[in-house]
Structure 1
Amino acid sequence: MITSRTAFLAAPALMGAYGLIRILDGLDGSRGPGPAWSLGHLCFLGALVLFVRGLADMRTAAGRGGLSTTALWTGTAGAVALGAQFVIDLVVGFLSADRGAMDELFVRIQDVPGVLPVVYDFGPLLFFVGQLVLVCQLAQRRILKPWAPVLVLMAATVPLAGKDLIPVGALLLLVAFAPLYRGVAALEVKTGATA
């Protein structure tokens, strides 16, 4: 069973694993379809499930107020959009014989009205917004370090410079969440008490 503390360690670790597998998958000049494509995407889906568990625990630690509840549901909605993107990627990988076939199928899926903005463009951003708001609240309560929001913001934006930097973003999250998975704030995460 995954504990709250384990989720804060395992989620960034699985995200980092996705990033590393993605890099390895691209060494031949093409990403997907194949086992590396599928394994990497499954790692990220696992990370998302654990991140949502973490969002719920952070909301509890932040006091379950209106802002933290809104951040939880905003982040969860973003995680659902991001998860839909990765499920689409997995299905496309399974249904395609090569990268060319994948690209054709992606175009057909993304041409469906609403899919591009909700699943690819704006929907996933909600996950990062919700996570950042909760981390800011925990930093304000001194459950997380004051620089944790900066690391979380960097983790969200570093991959925009290049998706090969996803493992760097995962490392930043590991550092930001260190008090949560090392047990320094275990009581706060479980009970919602302040430090």
Structure 2
Amino acid sequence: MTKQAVRLTRISFIAAPVLLVVYGSIRLLVEGSKEPGAAWITGHLAFLSGVLLFGVVCDGLRRAAAAEAGPVRRRVVNVAWPVAWAGVAAATAQAAIDIYAGIRADDKAEMSEIFARVQDVPGVMPVVYTVVPVFLYIGVIALLAALKGPRAVPSLVAFVLGTVAIAANLDFLPLGGLLYLLAFAPLRHRVGA
């Protein structure tokens, strides 16, 4: 792994959750963030950037866990990593659709029509919205579970709590992002070690 790749991965362990906090905060606190316009687009660009950096985090977790793992854990890592990346791809598609709708629509009703047209395409709902995005969280949980060391369990617990908070209510996105930051920040130095 090059020095630049290590640096990007370590930064991603901080930036991915921070961008989720930014997106959640815009969604929660900025007027107009739930209709087409600058706030919607800004929030979703933060979300898209965060999701892409979660992919980099998954790569870092895979490397760290594989370096420490015996044969059984290595198999878990080898399954968890593509599962997580499937979730990254689905969430990326979702963010891109949201940004497109926010740019194209003149009002909330038109944005709803765009979403309805996209979601009516067979397979889009499970692949982009309801099933496959969950793979990101499942994959990251498995990758964290494959880690060894004193920070492994607290990081896993923080990530699971963040995921539960977000699943309970999207208004908890900032809290979930902060919990993800608690999970990932102490692990960033294990990348490239």
TM over 0.5: yes
Q: What is the aligned partner in structure 1 of residue 70 from structure 2?
A: none
Contact 1:144 1:177 in 2 (8 A): no
- Whole-angstrom distance in 2 between the partners of 1:124 and 1:102: 21
- Whole-angstrom distance in 2 between the partners of 1:39 and 1:144: 34
CA RMSD of aligned residues (A): 1.6
- Whole-angstrom distance in 1 between the partners of 2:156 and 2:122: 35
1:119 match: secondary structure: helix
2:36 match: secondary structure: coil
Q: What is the aligned partner in structure 2 of residue 167 from structure 1?
A: 174
- Whole-angstrom distance in 1 between the partners of 2:128 and 2:9: 28
- Output one character per residue of 1:77-124: Cα deviation in whole Å (capped at 9) or x when no partner: 111001101110111111100001111111111111000111001010
Q: Does 1:51 align with 2:54?
A: yes
Alignment map for 1:7-86 (pairs within 5 Å): 7-25=12-30, 27=31, 31-63=34-66, 65-86=74-95
- Whole-angstrom distance in 2 between the partners of 1:180 and 1:146: 11
Q: Identity over the aligned pairs, expressed in percent?
A: 37
Q: What is the aligned partner in structure 2 of residue 115 from structure 1?
A: 124
Task: Quote how far apart the aligned CAs of 1:71 are.
Answer: 0.9
- Whole-angstrom distance in 2 between the partners of 1:135 and 1:145: 7
- Output one character per residue of 1:1-57: Cα deviation in whole Å (capped at 9) or x when no partner: 6522111001100010000111134x45x7120011001111111111111111111
Contact 2:105 2:111 in 1 (8 A): yes
2:149 to 142, 161, 176: 142
Q: What is the aligned partner in structure 2 of residue 91 from structure 1?
A: 100
> 2:43 corresponds to which letter in structure 1?
G
Task: Quote how far apart the aligned CAs of 1:161 are.
Answer: 2.1
TM-score, normalising length from structure 1?
Answer: 0.87
2:163 to 156, 170, 194: 156
Q: Does 1:103 align with 2:112?
A: yes
Over 3 Å counting, the alpha-carbon distance change for 1:17 and 1:76 in structure 2 is same
Task: Quote how far apart the aligned CAs of 1:177 are.
Answer: 1.4
Unaligned runs of 5+ in 1: none
> 2:180 corresponds to which letter in structure 1?
L
- Whole-angstrom distance in 2 between the partners of 1:59 and 1:50: 14
- Whole-angstrom distance in 1 between the partners of 2:77 and 2:152: 18
> 2:191 corresponds to which letter in structure 1?
V
- Whole-angstrom distance in 1 between the partners of 2:150 and 2:112: 45
Contact 2:144 2:152 in 1 (8 A): no
